[in-house]
């Protein structure tokens, strides 16, 4: 059992933030495991060059070792040490989206990182988070920081420091608490197929539409989205993820039919004596009767829904829900990432009406 320290930095000014983070940064440099906020979700950081430190990430999370980690940097100057030459297109993506929720898979420089980070691949996913506390911590740690989401493997990603503690207290050295994260879903992971083609491996904070606008000359290959199970080019996509403890089903299609289907399911579950949950949009909340009915907000405000998703999935656990139904949404913009996470949480139990 490790004592997990908590550094509260919500109100800290610039100078105080640096002071508060010095202990956490030192712990990272010395092989510690430190959870920290980013603009997407809380990450669980370790020195990406140290195999002993990175090994602790996999142990604390219970993460399969064939699932590589994203490396976080505070400045583009760190890149040359980590990766081999890459196409101009990657640089354009960095110019547009860094700092920000875009992870770019690049050819790794041999020996630059622990082989555990890349899970033996010849590439590494790198991102520069758009979050003042994350950037300050990364700069002070003066090392590339490998950081998966700071949850136990398979659980919803943490959007609050409290979620990190629920999963990992006693297993990690500390958490930097800077309140709720922004986007609420993880970064978009992309690879470059060639000089002109960007392939989305995991939809996330940077939308397909934003990518298309930023690099209009590039082709954006969005194939990974539809059938992630058939195309596990991003190894993480093949595992059940983000799941609450209850069995979740994702219901898509005509809102009336969806509501009727769900209500029938709840009635049947109640007959079996099961506790039920419904995850719905504000527009139809009053349609549902279940042990817990949680709202993601309006279906016209999917950014806000994304921000709430993981906390809601955790709330179902708190309520002891055994069977959960979630309404689907449009797949435009952040809706693509939201639907991807819901489908994963449902272990691909998706009903289309």
Quote the least distance from Cβ 163 to ligand TXA, whole Å: 13
Of 192 and 279, which CB lies nearer to ligand TXA in the complex structure? 192
Estimate the share of the chain in helix, then strand, then coil, as percent rounded to the nearest 5. 35, 20, 40
Distance (Å, whole) CA 297 – CA 183: 15
Quote the least distance from Cβ 38 to ligand TXA, whole Å: 5
Across-strand partners of 65? none
Max Cα-Cα span within the chain: 61
Of 234 and 292, which CB lies nearer to ligand TXA in the complex structure? 234
Quote the least distance from Cβ 340 to Mg ion, whole Å: 13
Distance (Å, whole) CA 76 – CA 104: 13
**41 is a site residue for ligand TXA (CB under 6 A):** yes
Which helix (DSSP H) or strand (DSSP E) does residue 205 occupy? none
Annotate each residue in 191-210 with x if it binds ligand TXA (CB under 6 A) or - if it does not, as one string: ----------xx--------
Annotate each residue in 146-165 with x if it binds Mg ion (CB under 5 A) or - if it does not, as one string: ---x----------------
| Strands annotated E in 253-337 | 276-280, 292-295, 323-327
Distance (Å, whole) CA 220 – CA 49: 32
The site that binds ligand TXA (CB under 6 A) totals a number of residues, namely: 28
**189 is a site residue for ligand TXA (CB under 6 A):** yes
**231 is a site residue for ligand TXA (CB under 6 A):** no
Distance (Å, whole) CA 6 – CA 175: 5
- In the structure encoding, which two tokens stand for residue 242, read together? 């983000």
**68 is a site residue for ligand TXA (CB under 6 A):** yes
CB atoms within 10 A of CB 341: 24
Distance (Å, whole) CA 12 – CA 18: 9
SS3 call for 95: helix
38 binds, among ligand TXA, Mg ion, none (CB under 5 to 8 A by kind): ligand TXA
237 binds, among Mg ion, ligand TXA, none (CB under 5 to 8 A by kind): ligand TXA
Answer yes or no: are the C-beta atoms of 217 and 92 closer than 8 Å: no
The residue from 20, 28, 33, 40 that contacts ligand TXA (CB under 6 A) is: 40
Quote the least distance from Cβ 275 to ligand TXA, whole Å: 29
Of 125 and 156, which CB lies nearer to ligand TXA in the complex structure? 125
CB neighbour class for 295 (10 Å; exposed up to 12, middle 13-18, buried from 19) = middle
**40 is a site residue for Mg ion (CB under 5 A):** no
Would you tell me which residues interact with Mg ion (CB under 5 A)? 149
Would you tell me which residues interact with ligand TXA (CB under 6 A)? 38, 40-41, 43, 67-70, 101, 103, 105, 118, 121, 123-125, 147-149, 186-187, 189, 201-202, 234-237
């Amino acid at each position: 059992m490790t004592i997990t320290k908590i550094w509260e930095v919500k109100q800290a000014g610039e100078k105080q933030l640096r002071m508060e983070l010095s202990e956490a940064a030192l712990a990272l440099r010395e092989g510690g495991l430190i959870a920290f906020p980013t603009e997407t979700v809380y990450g669980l950081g370790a020195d990406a060059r140290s195999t002993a430190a990175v090994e602790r990430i996999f142990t604390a999370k219970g993460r399969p070792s064939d699932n590589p980690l994203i490396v976080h940097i505070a400045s583009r100057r760190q890149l040359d040490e980590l990766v081999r030459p890459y196409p101009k297109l990657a640089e354009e993506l960095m110019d547009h989206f860094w700092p920000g929720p875009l992870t770019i898979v690049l050819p790794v420089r041999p020996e630059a990182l622990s082989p555990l980070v890349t899970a033996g691949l010849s590439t590494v996913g790198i991102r520069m988070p758009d979050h003042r506390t994350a950037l300050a911590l990364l700069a002070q740690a003066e090392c590339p920081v490998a950081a998966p989401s700071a949850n136990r493997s398979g659980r919803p990603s943490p959007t609050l420091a409290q979620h990190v503690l629920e999963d990992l207290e006693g297993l990690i050295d500390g958490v930097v608490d800077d309140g709720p994260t922004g986007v609420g879903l993880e970064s978009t992971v992309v690879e470059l197929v060639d000089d002109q083609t960007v392939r989305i491996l995991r939809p996330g904070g940077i939308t397909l539409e934003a990518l298309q606008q930023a690099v209009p000359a590039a082709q954006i290959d969005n194939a990974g989205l539809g059938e992630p199970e058939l195309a596990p080019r991003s190894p993480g996509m093949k595992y059940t993820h983000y799941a609450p403890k209850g069995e979740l089903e994702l219901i898509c299609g005509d809102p009336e039919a969806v509501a009727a289907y769900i209500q029938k399911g709840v009635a049947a579950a109640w007959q079996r004596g099961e506790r039920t949950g419904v995850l719905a949009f504000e527009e139809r909340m009053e349609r549902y009767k279940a042990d817990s009915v949680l709202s993601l907000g309006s279906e016209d405000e999917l950014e806000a829904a994304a921000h709430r998703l993981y906390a809601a999935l955790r709330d179902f656990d708190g309520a002891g829900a055994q069977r959960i139904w979630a309404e689907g949404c449009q797949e435009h913009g952040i809706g693509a990432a939201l639907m991807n996470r819901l489908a994963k949480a449902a272990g691909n139990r998706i009903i289309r009406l």
